[in-house]
Amino acid sequence: MNYLVVVAHPDDEVLGAGATIHKLIKQGNKVAVAIMVSQAAARKDLSSSLAEDEKEALDILGVTKTYHADFPNIKMNTVPHLELVQFIEKCIMDFKADAIITHHPADTNNDHVMTSYAAQAACRLFQRRDDVPGLKELLYMEVPSSTEWSIDSSANDFRANTYFEVGRDGLDVKLKALAAYKGVMRAYPHPRSNEALEGLAAYRGAQSGCKYAEAFESVLRRIVE
């Protein structure tokens, strides 16, 4: 399977799916990451070596294929929706993606929301082009410090229904990859602390009957012979 992880910012891929990415690659799957806002210019404590941080983090996970766009940070809602969709579609076609992992559309981060909407639209590419097969799965991930802040009561919250057991080793790889991103992690009890991420992985594992897990919401699944 070819998994395309579509995220708004550098580090979202590790926060939401880092241990799963590492596991999928170890199992022989291919994983590519598409980043919509490569510079993340509005980030507090922005690292002067963000590109190098990103490469180090993805090397730790085992990712060798990355796509970059340069849409404006916390201003993706000012970009025509079609431009966002077309970037993701190009990634799908180049990578021959079978599945997409992206943000939940109720995240309390505008760039996450716009990324999710664009990824949803890009999933229908096969209906517009005869030479592109349909995706087999679309998964939403949870990004600590954003997904749990789904306070819009008119939107559906993230509802975990798919779990990847990652084990202690997978969690440690995730934390190591996050440490490569300078200025991202915080002290406990911040959601982006080692303690909080370990607790979330333990809870998702206990919830699904396994040892440490990352949770996703599967919203599209196509089973083919």
Query: Which pLDDT value is given to residue 154?
Result: 87
Which pLDDT band, with edges at 50, 70 and 90, does 46 fall under?
low
Greater pLDDT, 44 or 81: 81
In this prediction, residue 43 carries a pLDDT of 59
- What pLDDT does 20 receive? 98
Q: Where are the alpha helices (DSSP H) in the chain?
A: 12-26, 50-61, 81-95, 110-122, 125-128, 167-179, 194-208
Bridge partner list, 215: 163
Residue 225 has pLDDT above 90, yes or no: no
SS3 163: strand
Query: In this model, does residue 41 exceed pLDDT 60?
Result: no
**pLDDT exceeds cutoff 70 at 159:** yes
**pLDDT tens-digit readout, 123-145:** 999 999 999 999 999 999 999 99
Cα three-residue angle 68-95-114, rounded to 5 degrees:
45
Mean pLDDT of the chain: 95
Q: Which residue shows structure tokens 């080793």? A: 169
pLDDT surpassing 70 at residue 11: yes
Q: 199 burial class (0-12, 13-18, 19+ CB within 10 angstroms)?
A: middle
Ramachandran class of 145: left when φ > 0, alpha when ψ lies in -120 to 50, beta otherwise: left
Q: For the ranges 8-12, 27-31, 39-43, 50-54, which has the lowest average pLDDT?
A: 39-43
pLDDT of residue 201: 98
The pLDDT of 97-109, averaged and rounded, is 97
Question: pLDDT-derived band of residue 63, with 50, 70 and 90 as boundaries?
Answer: very high
Q: Where are the domains of the chain?
A: 2-221
- As a whole number, mean pLDDT of residues 71-88 equals 97
Q: Alpha-carbon distance 138 to 46, whole Å?
A: 31
Dump pLDDT digits (tens) for 168-192.
999 999 999 999 999 899 999 999 9
Q: How far is CA 162 from CA 49, 194, 221, 222, in A?
A: 35, 23, 11, 15
pLDDT at residue 42, as a whole number: 52
Domain 2-221 matching CATH 3.40.50.300: the answer reads: no
